A and B are shown apart, each in its own frame.
Chain A
Amino acid sequence: MPNTTSFDTVRTSVSRAKGLPNAHYIDPAVYDEERHALLFNQWAGLAVASEIPEPGDAIPSTFLGVPVLLLRDKYDKVRVFQNTCRHRGMILIEHATKIAGAIRCPYHSWCYRTDGRLMSTPHVGGPGQNTHKDINRSELGLIEIRSHIWRDVVWINMNGNAPAFEYAMRDAITRWSEFDQPLYHGGSDSQFKLEVNCNWKLAVENYCESYHLPWIHPGLNSYSRLEDHYNIENYGSHSGQGTLVYRQLFGEHGEKFQDFENLSEKWNASAEYLSIYPNVLLGTHRDHAFAIILIPEGPEKTVENIHLFYSTKDTNEALRKKNTDQWKDIFKEDIFVVEGMQLGRHGIAFDGGKFSPAMDGPTHCFHDWAASQIETQRGMENAAE
């Protein structure tokens, strides 16, 4: 029972609260506890569906140590499986590939359909005999991980115990219901990856606050003053920030991206940025959107996968690249602070930090959620003992 961090100072009003204790950023035992409480028990982002555009497209990866296989089955349904053969536990697919027919395990060649059903078990009853009375194929399909697609993000609930996605995310879905329309991934020039030496939660926390904008993003700040931003605090599911002065990007000859359809006037100059707990950072604007999926790779290492989306399939290439570059510059500006906060959490006397009651509400909102989820899990463990 290694985990005894206390949340008394976390779960109180923002004016009195402290941040999460250091152990939540640097201690492998706490990282492991959070793996279940904050990631596997939730709807966590894994990837975007645009990465597997065609039936048979398959991408293996490791999510918090668990080998997973993201694929589009031959009926065009996106599925996520544990990438482990039901026979001897071999990894099924090692590299991104296009599955022509069946998934054949490279060890003894058990074959699975792209929807996970086991379809052949060669020589299982002896050479040339592919059936056996004790091999019930209907019970031996691939283990499917519960998944859901929203805003092109493939969300997974590894432990299968979260409420229905639409219910769990209802507040964010409602907030952005006007943007509930097709999103078109900008393609290979509209995605990039950043590797940062910090706990994944620091990336969430930095993203949801606007307090740092004038210091870290002075370029943005020339048109986006701090007072033009507002906090978004939705206890229990998401937090973030909005701006009242979003300006569209224009090309050299006045080109611009097409707006999403039928948006209310509010969105002419507004844009919003939400940290959807646990690990997905979304942004939306009248003419484009993006998703950042945080993949934790250890207590002090995180990969950020960034994807940009538009309202139409075809967009101006130069403008699209300009937009990607602009966001890349901004997200890179954040790296030294999340890495710096990570290092700062090795200061043994650091007490979680004192929040600005006016500016740090979104961060506190995230901590409150994290603490409540960990407490829930500890409660269940204690009840089971």
Chain B
Amino acid sequence: MPLSDQDLEDQIIRAHEINNIWLLAKLYADAAERGLDQDHNFFLATQAYVYALQSNHPLKSKLHAFLKSHGREE
């Protein structure tokens, strides 16, 4: 059963509280697939990308490619 956005937001807040960077990368990446609009997705993907860089999460390549293909990252 897919999470509602509220569930996801709660999870993100909890991950921030425990400072779980690896999890933040994953959760923001999930969120970036269902933002309010495309700009919001870029915002969320950026959050995910940064946490993925910090934690060396494998999602970093995919996020980088996504942002770059839309002119949002170098």
Q: Which residues of A contact B (CB under 8 A)?
A: 100-104, 109, 111, 119-120, 122-123, 127-131, 137
Q: Which residues of B contact A103 (CB under 8 A)?
A: 54
CB pair A127 B57 closer than 8 Å: no
Which residues of chain B are within 8 angstroms of A101 by Cβ–Cβ distance? 52-57, 60
Question: Which residues of chain A are near B50, meaning CB under 8 Å?
Answer: 104, 109, 111, 120, 122
Bound together, the chains give a CA A127 to CA B52 distance in angstroms of 18
CB A90 to nearest CB in B, in angstroms, measures: 15
User: In the complex, what residue of chain B is closest to A131 when comparing beta carbons?
Assistant: B74
Interface residues of B (CB under 8 A from A): 21, 39-43, 45-47, 49-57, 60, 67, 71-74
Contact between chains at A130 and B60 (CB < 8 Å): no
- The residue on A at minimum CB distance from B67 is A130
CB-defined A-B contacts under 8 Å, sample of 11: A101-B52, A101-B55, A101-B56, A103-B54, A104-B53, A111-B50, A120-B49, A122-B46, A127-B39, A129-B42, A130-B73
Q: How far is the CB of B47 from chain A (nearest CB, A)?
A: 7
Bound state CA distance, A127 and B46, in angstroms? 9
Assess the A128–B53 pair: CB atoms within 8 A: no
Q: How far is the CA of A102 from the CA of B67 in the complex (A)?
A: 18
Report yes or no: B43 in contact with A120, Cβ–Cβ below 8 A.
Answer: no
| CB-CB nearest in chain A for B54 | A104
**Complex CA distance for A128 and B41, rounded to whole angstroms:** 8
5 closest Cβ contacts across the A-B interface?
Answer: A128-B42, A101-B56, A128-B43, A102-B53, A104-B54
**Is B46's CB under 8 angstroms from A131's CB?**
no
Q: Which residues does chain A contribute within 8 Å of B73, judged by CB atoms?
A: 120, 130-131
Query: Are the C-beta atoms of B72 and A128 separated by less than 8 Å?
Result: yes
Chain B residue with the shortest CB-CB distance to A74: B56
B72 and A130 within 8 A (CB) = yes
Across-interface contacts of A131 in B (CB, < 8 A): 71-74
In the complex formed, the residue of A with least CB distance to B45 is A128
Question: In the complex, A127 Cα to B37 Cα: how many Å?
Answer: 13
Contacts of B46 in A (CB 8 A): 122-123, 128, 130
The residue in chain B whose Cβ has the minimal distance to the Cβ of A101 is B56
**Chain B residue contacts of A120, Cβ below 8 A:** 49-50, 53, 73
**A128-B42, A130-B67, A131-B73 known; 8 other A-B pairs, CB under 8 Å?**
A100-B56, A101-B60, A103-B54, A104-B53, A127-B39, A127-B42, A128-B43, A131-B74
A101-B54, A120-B49, A123-B46 as given contacts; A128 in contact with B39, CB under 8 Å: yes
State how many angstroms separate the Cβ of B55 from the closest Cβ of chain A: 5
Tell me, rounded to whole Å, the shortest Cβ–Cβ distance linking A140 to chain B. Answer: 12
Q: How many Å lie between the Cα of A103 and that of B55 in the bound state?
A: 9
Q: What distance in Å separates the Cβ of B5 from its nearest Cβ neighbour in chain A?
A: 18
B49 x A122 contact (CB < 8 A)? yes
Residues of B within 8 A of A137 (CB): 74
Q: Which of B39, B43, B53, B71 contacts A119 (CB 8 A)?
A: B53
A111 lies within 8 A of B72 (CB): no
Q: Which residues of A contact B67 (CB under 8 A)?
A: 130
Interface centre among A104, A120, A128 (most CB of B within 10 A): A128
Quick one: closest B residue to A111, CB to CB?
Answer: B53
Identity of the chain A residue whose Cβ is nearest the Cβ of B41 in the assembled complex: A128
CA distance A122 to B40 in the complex (A): 14
- Give complex CA distance A127, B47 in Å: 10
Q: Which residues of B contact A127 (CB under 8 A)?
A: 39, 42-43
Bound complex: CA of A119 vs CA of B73, how far in Å? Answer: 10
B21 to chain A, nearest CB (A): 8
Shortest C-beta distance, A69 to chain B (Å), equals: 15
Closest to B70 in A: A128
Query: CA–CA, A111 to B40, complex, Å?
Result: 21
Q: B54 contacts which of A100, A128, A129, A130 (Cβ < 8 Å)?
A: A100
In the bound complex, CA of A101 to CA of B54 (Å): 5
